[in-house]
Structure 1
Amino acid sequence: MDGAERRRWLILRGASLVVVVTAWMFVRFRRRCLTRPPITYAPMSAREEQRQNNLNYIYQADDTRCVDLLRMKRAPFFQLCDLLRTRELLKDTMHCNVEEQVAIFLHVVGHNQRFRVINLSFRRSFETISRHFQEVLYAVGELRQEMIQLPSTVVHPKIVGSHRWNPYFKDCIGAIDGTHVLARVPRSIRAAFLGRKHTTTQNVLAAVDFDLRFTYILAGWEGSAHDALILNDALEREDGLRVPPSKFYLVDAGYVVRPGFLPPYRATRYHLREFGARVPQIPKELFNLRHSSLRTTVERAFGALQNRFRILDNKPFHPYKTQVKLDLACCILHNWILRFGE
């Protein structure tokens, strides 16, 4: 046997040995699988049953309970879930469908609950809740273009049907104001976020129409920033605030007079409580009184928003970038509820 034949013989012998060893290991593995006792999933099945009962209690029972827990009725809730699923912004997973993901998010923002509390209600791990929360936050933010739009330029029925405002405010399309939302920031930048009440806040600028819908939102500014500075930033942005020609917004005395923005007269009584039992004595006081009564729209919108989503009225447990996104997401959900019913 020469060298080439011997080398070929050794290769065949080695290959045969590998095949025999592999077959022996496979047979041994199969025997172990057949003799191993089956894994029982009874504890997980009980946990899954508890989870389904809890979810049915939240959004399958009645509208009252759904509003209490998720801040909206069942119809707009399921419409929102169907929209996010249709656009593939959210997907059903093997163990968690879109409805449960959205319910987790709404439960957090509606009641300012921590993930460690939510995982007891939904029987989910901390990581699963955190992941779905971020996914739903991103998905809701993708609805910004269609849910936060410029108001109509048609004279609003609220103005047309009132002798106090028509025709003086017939070209008014809404009101603008800023609100301070409690914020949690690192200690290194805390001084810039200290607001008037010596708490860390972010100053959120919003434009609201007379149906209490948000038509523009700019979040993320420090609590110490002046409203006029934030308005300038909103106007200079490429996708910022735009005022239709010959229309205007109502603003408070903290803003300067400029085209498209109408503040009240300064050094003149403004709010109704300042008049007491008296009536306006001069035209400027009458104008300020009617200006104030119409501009309360934006204050009512802020009140409804913060009452519906308690995460905006308490210090959140999220990084600051997430807090800014939550302001926008809550305004989008607020408009969604007003459009499709509470």
Structure 2
Amino acid sequence: MSAAFRGRKHYTSQNVLAAVDFDMRFTYVLAGWEGSAHDASILADSLSRPDGLQIPDGKFYLGDAGYACRPGILPPFRKTRYHLNEFSAKHRPLNARELFNLRHSSLRVTIERAFAALKNRFKVLDQKPFHTFDTQVKLVLACCILHNWILGWGEDEFFEEVVTFDEVETGHGVEAGDNDAWKVKRQEWADAMWEARGNTTIEK
């Protein structure tokens, strides 16, 4: 069992699925999966639960490159520039897919900042665990609840600018099987952005 919970940091850990809104509040958290679990498996578990992640019709979450393009989940284009630090005033997007990925990354950085603030405030989340596993799961949920509560009282001193590195971690893999209809939607949105790109501004 411990082997399954051994994540990329080489000690036992859990893989946590979380959704964050643009105010950096956690709106859904599923903790307790083994550290080596595939992200797609955790998402499938969440969507199958009566009290799991709810995605209203016509809406979607921005996901990282490890997820398939599917109803309710919109990842970036793979094998295309994505990281914010790969773009600048001198290195603008060259096509529709690069522009889509730039805007996707600019929005998805919110969750990176939320997790960075969470770990900066609650150091126990980023250390080698010593509690029982049940307690570890409860700690994650409790810290996310406290994080949201603190945000209700004003600006968070632990927020910082974060540069994303959206690489799929070894052991988490890439979910196979993009949904054809959603691949078409994503390309249509990318093309529309490209056609209207005159207002795009890239800061150094």
TM-score range, shorter chain: 0.7 to 0.9
Deviations 1:149-172 (A, max 9, x none): xxxxxxxxxxxxxxxxxxxxxxxx
- For residues 195 and 331 of structure 1, the distance between their equivalents in structure 2, rounded to whole angstroms, comes to 21
Greater radius of gyration (CA): 1
Task: Say yes or no: does 1:215 pair with 2:10.
Answer: no
How large is the Cα RMSD of the aligned pairs? 1.3
Residue 230 of structure 1, CA deviation:
0.5
Deviations 1:65-121 (A, max 9, x none): xxxxxxxxxxxxxxxxxxxxxxxxxxxxxxxxxxxxxxxxxxxxxxxxxxxxxxxxx
Residue 290 of structure 1, CA deviation:
0.7
Task: Say yes or no: does 1:203 pair with 2:203.
Answer: no
Deviations 1:161-190 (A, max 9, x none): xxxxxxxxxxxxxxxxxxxxxxxxxxxx22
Residue 247 of structure 1, CA deviation:
1.2
Residue of structure 1 in register with 2:116 after alignment = 303
Residue of structure 1 in register with 2:84 after alignment = 272
Residue 336 of structure 1, CA deviation:
0.7
Name which of 318, 326, 329 aligns with 2:139: 326
Residue of structure 1 in register with 2:182 after alignment = none
* Kept after mapping to 1: 8 A contact 2:12/2:129: no
Partner SS for 1:219: strand
Partner SS for 1:192: coil
- For residues 233 and 330 of structure 1, the distance between their equivalents in structure 2, rounded to whole angstroms, comes to 22
Residue type at the aligned position of 1:209: D
- For residues 313 and 214 of structure 1, the distance between their equivalents in structure 2, rounded to whole angstroms, comes to 18
Deviations 1:206-248 (A, max 9, x none): 0000000000000000010011110000000111000122111
- For residues 320 and 196 of structure 1, the distance between their equivalents in structure 2, rounded to whole angstroms, comes to 18
Residue type at the aligned position of 2:26: F
Residue 291 of structure 1, CA deviation:
0.4
Deviations 1:293-325 (A, max 9, x none): 110011100001111111101123311100100
- For residues 272 and 340 of structure 1, the distance between their equivalents in structure 2, rounded to whole angstroms, comes to 30
- For residues 13 and 7 of structure 2, the distance between their equivalents in structure 1, rounded to whole angstroms, comes to 6
Give the number of equivalent residue pairs.
154
Residue 262 of structure 1, CA deviation:
0.7
- For residues 61 and 128 of structure 2, the distance between their equivalents in structure 1, rounded to whole angstroms, comes to 31
Name which of 24, 41, 64 aligns with 1:252: 64
Identity of aligned residues (%): 71
Name which of 229, 241, 264 aligns with 2:41: 229
- For residues 319 and 197 of structure 1, the distance between their equivalents in structure 2, rounded to whole angstroms, comes to 19
Residue 253 of structure 1, CA deviation:
1.1
- For residues 197 and 329 of structure 1, the distance between their equivalents in structure 2, rounded to whole angstroms, comes to 23
Partner SS for 2:51: coil
- For residues 202 and 318 of structure 1, the distance between their equivalents in structure 2, rounded to whole angstroms, comes to 13
Residue type at the aligned position of 2:80: T
Residue of structure 1 in register with 2:107 after alignment = 294
Structure with more helix by fraction: 1
- For residues 101 and 140 of structure 2, the distance between their equivalents in structure 1, rounded to whole angstroms, comes to 31
Residue of structure 1 in register with 2:195 after alignment = none
Residue of structure 1 in register with 2:149 after alignment = 336
Residue 254 of structure 1, CA deviation:
0.4
Residue 196 of structure 1, CA deviation:
2.2
Highest relative contact order (Cα 8 Å, sep 6+), 1 or 2? 2
Q: TM-score if structure 2 supplies the norm length?
A: 0.72
- For residues 273 and 339 of structure 1, the distance between their equivalents in structure 2, rounded to whole angstroms, comes to 31
**Structure 1 runs (4+) greater than 6 angstroms displaced:** none
Residue 331 of structure 1, CA deviation:
0.4
Deviations 1:276-304 (A, max 9, x none): 64111111001101100110011100001
Residue type at the aligned position of 1:231: L
Deviations 1:1-24 (A, max 9, x none): xxxxxxxxxxxxxxxxxxxxxxxx
- For residues 254 and 337 of structure 1, the distance between their equivalents in structure 2, rounded to whole angstroms, comes to 31
